[in-house]
């Protein structure tokens, strides 16, 4: 199982992540990401990794859960 985690000490509410991965990430009223915590399938893991690399603040990580 894999999920996206946000490093809140880095996130600057750019909002890019929700545009790149709208299936999983929406924004709250201040522009911070709200992550759908459900398990990512293989295609979404790939897309999530690309989104993490695109984050200007490098605030996203794709992690494997036990």
Per rule CB under 6 A, is residue 11 in the interface with ligand SF4? yes
Residues 22-61: x where in contact with ligand SF4 by CB under 6 A, - otherwise, as a string: -----------x---------------------xxx-xx-
Which pairs from 41-46 meet CB under 8 Å and 24+ separation? 45/2
Per rule CB under 6 A, is residue 21 in the interface with ligand SF4? no
Residue 10 or 65 having the CB closest to ligand SF4: 10
Rounded CA-CA distance 49/60 in Å is 9
């Amino acid at each position: 199982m894999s999920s996206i985690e946000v490093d809140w000490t880095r996130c600057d509410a750019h909002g890019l992540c929700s545009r790149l991965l709208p299936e999983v990430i929406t924004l709250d009223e201040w522009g911070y990401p709200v992550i759908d915590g459900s398990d990512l399938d293989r295609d979404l893991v790939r897309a999530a990794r690309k989104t993490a690399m695109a984050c200007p603040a490098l605030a996203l990580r794709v992690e494997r859960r036990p």
